[in-house]
Structure 1
Amino acid sequence: MKVTCKYCGIVDKPHHCPHKVKQDNQRKDKRIYRSASYQTARAMALDTYNYVDLWELYVNGRYQPATLTHHIIEVLDDPDKAADQMNLFPTSAENHADIHDLYKLYKDKAQNLLFSMCQDYQAGNREPEKYKSHIDDLTGVVTQKGYSS
């Protein structure tokens, strides 16, 4: 008998897909996202940055609403910073994925840039595309999004 796997196509049954990533809802970082302290810090961070996606502003030069926050210092690296408002970077889902792609290659430098973007916004510096050249220099590749992974 055949079955359809969304990753592998039509395959023989039983099929155990090597491409499917199993979600681990017991991971420590998953529990943190449901905590009241994180939810409060997240709401405060989004409000502090006026729900502006800082990546879109400083890299792509456009205003776009921020719908979520990215932990600059990742939860698994330092759980104590999980609910620290100063560690939360407002962004959109699309740019969040791009930030994670950049982290895979240039984590430390990317973290420094995100902290700098937050500081600039709080200081009132809202210059569009201010960090585009930094991202281009970091990756060595100029694309429409500002970098390529």
Structure 2
Amino acid sequence: MKITCKYCGIVDKPHHCPHKVKQDNQRKDKRIYRSALYKAAREMALDTYNCVDLWELYINGWYQPATLTHHIVEVLDDPDKATDWMNLFPTSAENHADIHELYKVYKDRVQDSLFCMCQDYRDGSREPGKYKRHIDDLTSAVSQKGCSS
């Protein structure tokens, strides 16, 4: 009998996919996402920022709906901020991945930028592309660093 694996395609049954990564749902940062406090904070953040993807607005200069929130200070770094709505940054899945890529090299600088973007939005400053140059400088520094190593 054959089955379809979303990673391997059509395969014989039984099939244990080598590409599927088992998630550890017992980690503290994973359990947070199921809590009522986090869900309330997430809703508060999305409401405050009108479900606008702030990364898309301030970096790419477009309005796009935010589909999720990103912990600016990560849960494992400070569990006390896990349910603080002011620590949540509204974004899309694609931009969320970009943020995490930048965190690998310039976490503190990106975190500062995310906090500033949130503050600007709350203060009424909605200039599209306002932080593009700042982030471009970071990414070019990452590229140059990678080339010189």
**Letter of the aligned partner of 1:81 in structure 2?**
K
Name whichever structure is richer in helix by fraction. Answer: 2
Listed as ranges, the matches of 1:1-149 within 5 Å are 20-140=20-140
Structure 2 unaligned residues grouped into runs of 5+: 142-149
TM-score, normalisation: structure 2? 0.82
User: What are the Cα deviations for residues 17-63 of structure 1, in whole angstroms up to 9, with x where unaligned?
Assistant: 76543210111111100000000000000000000000000000000
TM-superposition CA deviations, 1:84-121 (whole Å, max 9, x none)? 01100000111111111111121111100000000100
Counterpart of 2:147 in structure 1 is none
Q: Residue 94 of structure 1: SS of its match in structure 2?
A: helix
Partner Cα distance (2:40, 2:9) in 1: 43
Count matched residues.
141
Letter in 2 for 1:80: D
| RMSD (Å) for aligned C-alpha atoms | 2.3
Provide the C-alpha distance between the structure 2 equivalents of 1:9 and 1:67, rounded to a whole number of angstroms: 29
Structure 1, unaligned runs of 5 or more:
142-149
